[in-house]
């Protein structure tokens, strides 16, 4: 694993995992945590380790977050910049929770992203009050206060994304309602019975296996 900076801020870096042999494809892992500083890329390391062992090139990224120099528009800009800086070929954006939002955003704004696997993703900032409160922390206000930011940032406002999107979500998720995935236009939705919010990023869990299968389907080998 190699640490690579893509900017001068301490949070503008990522961990690059390269396989020993030919790459089965590139994957950008984008952690969640409702965009807050207290959560970091350590959440993505178990997934990166599984995927690189299977022959994928994996870029596990950090970004500026709320409480640490992030928010609007720095957090979103960082993710797009991180996707662009490392050349591992076309990439699948694999994002958990708020990282699911950022994965869709990256797919909309970067030609390098060829598909998205949203893991219990935050995909509609305005359909659930609890989600809107969290999004307001990222965007600096409620929809009535900064409507233009919601129009530019909420994944539900970015459709059509122009890339395949697979949404994997547990039906027992208490942090991000499963309706966030069920209501996302144009996506393939996989609902995992009995799964909670963290199961989708827990290797060995059925919910993670569904995410893994989607990555394998969407990835393109690099030669």
- What tens digit of pLDDT does each residue of 188-198 get? 999 999 999 99
On whether the CB atoms of residues 223 and 89 are closer than 8 A, the answer is no
pLDDT at 222 over 80: no
Please give the pLDDT value at position 220.
82
How sure is the predictor about 216, in pLDDT bands with cuts at 50, 70 and 90? Answer: very high
pLDDT at 223 over 50: no
How sure is the predictor about 19, in pLDDT bands with cuts at 50, 70 and 90? Answer: very high
Position 73 in a domain = yes
> Is residue 165 helix, strand or coil?
strand
Mean pLDDT over 88-107 rounds to 97
Residue 57 host element (H or E): strand 57-61
Segments forming the whole domain that contains residue 167: 2-218
pLDDT of 74-93, one tens digit each? 999 999 999 999 999 999 99
Mean pLDDT over 29-57 rounds to 97
Position 100 in a domain = yes
Q: Where are the alpha helices (DSSP H) in 26-159?
A: 45-53, 74-85, 98-109, 129-139, 147-153
pLDDT of 168-213, one tens digit each? 999 999 999 999 999 899 999 999 999 999 999 999 999 999 999 9
pLDDT at 47 over 90: yes
- Look up the CATH number of the domain holding residue 165: 3.40.50.1820
Position 28 in a domain = yes
Structural domains of the chain, count: 1
Position 163 in a domain = yes
Expressed in angstroms, the distance from the first to the final Cα of the chain is 20
How sure is the predictor about 159, in pLDDT bands with cuts at 50, 70 and 90? Answer: very high
pLDDT averaged over every residue in the chain: 96
The residue written with tokens 């955003």 in the block is: 105
Rounded-to-integer distance, Cα 74 and Cα 42, Å: 20
How sure is the predictor about 221, in pLDDT bands with cuts at 50, 70 and 90? Answer: confident
Position 223 in a domain = no
Position 65 in a domain = yes
pTM: 0.97
């Amino acid at each position: 694993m190699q640490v690579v900076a893509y900017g001068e801020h301490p949070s503008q870096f990522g961990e690059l995992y390269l396989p020993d042999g030919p790459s089965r494809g590139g994957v950008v892992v984008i952690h969640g945590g409702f965009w807050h500083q207290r959560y970091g890329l350590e959440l993505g390391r178990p997934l990166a380790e599984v995927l690189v062992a299977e022959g994928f090139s994996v870029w596990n990224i950090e970004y500026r977050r709320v409480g640490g120099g992030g928010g609007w528009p720095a957090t979103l800009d960082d993710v797009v910049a991180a996707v662009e800086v490392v050349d591992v070929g076309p990439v699948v954006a694999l994002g958990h929770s708020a990282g699911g939002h950022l994965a869709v955003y990256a797919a909309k704004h970067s030609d390098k992203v060829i598909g998205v696997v949203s893991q219990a993703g935050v995909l509609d900032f305005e359909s659930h009050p609890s989600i809107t409160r969290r999004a307001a922390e990222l965007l600096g206000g409620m929809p009535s206060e900064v409507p233009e930011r919601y129009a530019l940032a909420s994944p539900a406002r970015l459709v059509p994304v122009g890339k395949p999107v697979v949404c994997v979500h547990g039906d027992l998720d208490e942090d991000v309602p499963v309706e966030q995935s069920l209501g996302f236009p144009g996506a393939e939705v996989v609902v995992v019975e009995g799964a909670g919010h963290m199961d989708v990023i827990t290797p060995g869990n059925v919910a993670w296996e569904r995410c893994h299968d989607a990555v394998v389907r969407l990835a393109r080998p690099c030669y």
